[in-house]
Structure 1
Amino acid sequence: MKPFLIDYFIDRESFIDLQIDFLKQDFVYSMNSEFFPSFERALKKEDFYIEEQVPLSYSEDPNGISFTMQKLYFYKTYLGTIIHKLSSNYLNDFYNYIREDLLESQKDRRKFLNEGKKRVASIIDNINQFNFIDFRLLTELKSQLCQIEFAINSPTLYNDKYLKIDKLALHKWNETDLVTFFHFLRTQKVIDFISDAELGRFLERSFCVENHEGEVSSLDSLNKRLNDLKNVNKLNDRSEKRLSDLFKKFSKY
């Protein structure tokens, strides 16, 4: 995962990294960085600025081709923009990483969540080391961190069913039952005929299976199962019986 903005607030050394990264955005420096010496690693508590290139207003330059230089102050302006987006910066990537990389492994997800909790808690516990920041900004910094802490401590992050809310969970059915059912619909022309690959992808995107312990698992390689059913031209006996028993219940309504 890429670094988060909250990493700038781990300690004063990381905050110096933020100040140096800010200095590197200076227009003259960015155009000729190889001619400048390395920045001194010293914490700046007084405000300082860089110059950035900005376009002239329309009244000054209707053609939009001219620019002027403008001062951007670290404490007065820049730091606030960083602090205001701390939670969104962290949580967007945090949730995406869970969904894209940890959805199928509760063990890895739990490890990641526990590490995240410790990381954020440590930053919160040591936040007063930044008491040289304007009180309003320091209060906002604490608020942003509390939003992150609240979100990552949600018990739903350990719940597969919640994370896979965009899929329908099948109860008392396994993936063989699902494949058997849709294969039957296809052969009976209840649904349009589509290839095993297309039907398999649709089922994998739309369904997941919940076992008796409430654990939810995604489906994969369903195209191969569909192909096997098509080749043997015979339904799975157990699945066929479960499906038959299910539809017999219609007569009771």
Structure 2
Amino acid sequence: MRSKKLIIIPAYNESECIVDTIKNIQKKASDYDYIIVNDCSKDDTLKKCIDEGFNYINLPINLGIGGAVQTGYRYAADNGYEIAVQIDGDGQHDPAFLHDMENVLLERNADMVIGSRFIENKGFQSSFARRLGISYFTKLIKLMTGNSISDPTSGFRMVGRSLIELFSQDYPGDYPEPESVVEVLLDKKKVVEIPVVMKERQGGVSSIQPRKSVYYMIKVSLAIVFARLRKLRNKKR
């Protein structure tokens, strides 16, 4: 019997991209189910989901990216999915790579597979400022966990059942990608990266604006350090 596999698509104001995102999934990864988590969008995202007959959950209040993704993991946990993967609603992530990610997840007995744009440096590489931030988090994660993650902010990530259950109960709220991968690594779970090609955002606006960058760096850095300190304290008990 084939594994039940779910694509989680957090969506906030993605009306420009959501139709093409789902059509691309249906074309390239038709063996995956999907669920759009509409995070109280202010544009026509919900209307397009309804008009197109897409599978969606409509959140009555805005929970932010972490809350939207966790909602998807709760849906996956409650409905018996064995594999879940996050794809952004803005068209950056190519579902053609899902089967490569799935093969690595199963063949290498990994707990998480991250699609990294920086292994082969193909496709859209993000802005210079964001690459600096990503490099900083790569170094911080290496310092805190001993593991090197080339693309710690990548939202293109696949997990198995154990992390579906974990994330359905406990998932960071703001800017969750670096923080969640640190928690996974500190729990001695196996994380593998594979090369992928990402596109530029196909429409809409990123949730991480320049004026929020300082808050983002400080908040995530503190969360990573505190996660490490908690782990050390628990070892001493």
Give TM-score scaled by structure 1 length: 0.20
Structure with greater proportional helix content: 1
